[in-house]
Amino acid sequence: MSNKILLQNMMFYGFHGVYEYEREQGQRFYVDVEMHADLSLAGSTDNLLDTIDYTAVYSQIKQVMENHRFQLIEALGAHIAENILKTTIATEVVIRIRKPAVAIPGPLDYVQVETQRRK
């Protein structure tokens, strides 16, 4: 059996980017997390210890987004995914990071990188 827990459209202010001004001034980033796991035990026990504590996952992501600096959002997504797999019962994680302010000479809403990892 497999269940999915989603954290959608979390907004963080971070200092990630290739350009120095991005790492100095910072900007908003939007993050989605999709965690897959067998949560059938939690469904029968109704116990937080048998599932993924998504408030703890949120705190982990917030800490990384706001206190670390990455040049590439690909590296940022990989770091977050690997952390979640190490600290939860998730067997698969999909991370989507959106960066609205990008140095592209044309109109667009955002650039998004999706990272998928499995145990």
E strand or H helix at 115, and its extent? strand 111-118
pLDDT at site 89: 97
**pLDDT, tens only, 24-41:** 999 999 999 999 999 999
Q: If you average pLDDT over every residue of the chain, what do you get?
A: 96
Q: Which of 108, 34, 97, 105 is CA-nearest to residue 65? A: 97
Q: Residue 43 belongs to what domain range?
A: 3-118
Say which CATH number the domain at 29 has.
3.30.1130.10
Residue positions annotated with a catalytic role: 99
**pLDDT, tens only, 83-119:** 999 999 999 999 999 999 988 899 999 999 999 999 9
How far apart (Å, rounded) are the C-alpha atoms in residues 115 and 78? 6
Domain count, the chain: 1
